[in-house]
């Protein structure tokens, strides 16, 4: 039977009871005005707060089904995204961050690329038409530029931004690539893009509006955590 779900949205969540309702409100409001059916999968990465109660109490509507998935213990953002992406049933599958740093309307540009035949469409804050409403601090921005240079050199990329948490895939590409993923950390993004390159998937980039949220659940604010990022990066080729 033909799948009725056009768009699946995966939202990884770790202790997001304080802001997941805002994200669901804005996302479902947008989806209610579309012509297609959709689903939202909120994946709790071993949350210890009331994220589950909040999401389970949120009402679905006839166009958008909301599903709550949970596991324990906490495994990392990469694991949470993989868990959801492999379970999305839509023609197209998007993952986005729970803090709503990218407004859901930006999905339209990604969908346009997939409908033209691309397999993957990634949001990039570094493209000329992107609008960064609220920047990270200068130290984090400089660190991100250094990381991107090393990453692109090592993996043979030319992506100015791989870490924006707003990426769209065809169902076939999502299920194939995320089934191959091995990293559970935030460095899963370049791993997925490296796998896409290796297996011949076509990748497009599109600009977005992006707002840095101060209360990030992921903080790399000391030397040990920063070194971990590079350790994970340099594992990618060896893992495959």
**Band (238; pLDDT cuts 50, 70, 90):** very high
Instruction: Give the CATH number of the domain where residue 173 resides.
Output: 3.90.550.10
Q: To the nearest 10°, the Cα dihedral for 197, 112, 165, 156?
A: 20
What total number of domains does the chain contain?
1
Range of the domain at 158: 5-239
pTM: 0.93
Q: Which residues, other chains included, contact 118 with Cβ-Cβ below 8 Å and sequence gap of 6+? A: 202, 203, 204
**Helices (runs of H) and strands (runs of E) counted in the chain:** 9, 9
Q: What is the reported pLDDT for 225? A: 81
Burial 22-54 (b: 16+ CB within 10 A, else e): ebbeebbebbeeeeebbbbbbbbbebeeebbeb
Q: What phi and psi, each to the nearest 5 degrees, are found at residue 195?
A: -65, -40
Q: Please give the backbone phi and psi of residue 192, each rounded to the nearest 5 degrees, phi first.
A: -65, -40
Q: Is the pLDDT of residue 112 over 50?
A: yes
Phi, psi dihedrals of residue 180, rounded to the nearest 5°? -85, -20
Q: pLDDT, tens digit, for every residue of 51-100?
A: 999 999 999 889 999 999 999 999 999 999 999 999 999 999 999 999 99
């Amino acid at each position: 039977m033909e799948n009725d779900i056009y768009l699946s949205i995966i939202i990884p969540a770790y202790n997001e009871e304080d802001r997941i309702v805002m994200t669901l409100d804005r996302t479902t409001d947008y989806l209610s005005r579309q012509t297609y059916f959709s689903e939202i999968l909120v994946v709790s990465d071993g949350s210890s707060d009331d994220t589950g109660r909040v999401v389970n109490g949120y009402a679905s509507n006839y166009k958008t089904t909301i599903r709550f998935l949970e596991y324990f213990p906490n495994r990392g953002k990469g694991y949470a995204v993989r868990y959801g992406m492999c379970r999305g049933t839509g023609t197209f599958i998007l993952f986005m961050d729970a803090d709503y740093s990218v407004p859901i309307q930006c999905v339209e540009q990604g969908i346009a690329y997939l409908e033209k035949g691309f397999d993957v469409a990634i949001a990039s804050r570094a493209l000329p038409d992107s609008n960064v409403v609220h920047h990270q601090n200068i130290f984090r921005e400089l660190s991100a530029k250094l990381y991107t240079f090393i990453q692109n050199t090592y993996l043979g990329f030319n992506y100015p931004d791989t870490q924006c948490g707003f990426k769209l895939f065809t169902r076939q590409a999502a299920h194939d690539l995320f089934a191959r993923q091995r990293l559970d950390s935030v460095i899963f993004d370049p791993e997925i893009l490296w796998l896409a390159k290796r297996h011949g998937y076509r990748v497009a980039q599109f600009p977005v509006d992006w707002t840095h949220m101060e209360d990030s659940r992921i903080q790399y604010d000391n030397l040990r955590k920063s070194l971990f990022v590079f350790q994970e990066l340099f594992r990618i080729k060896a893992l495959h």
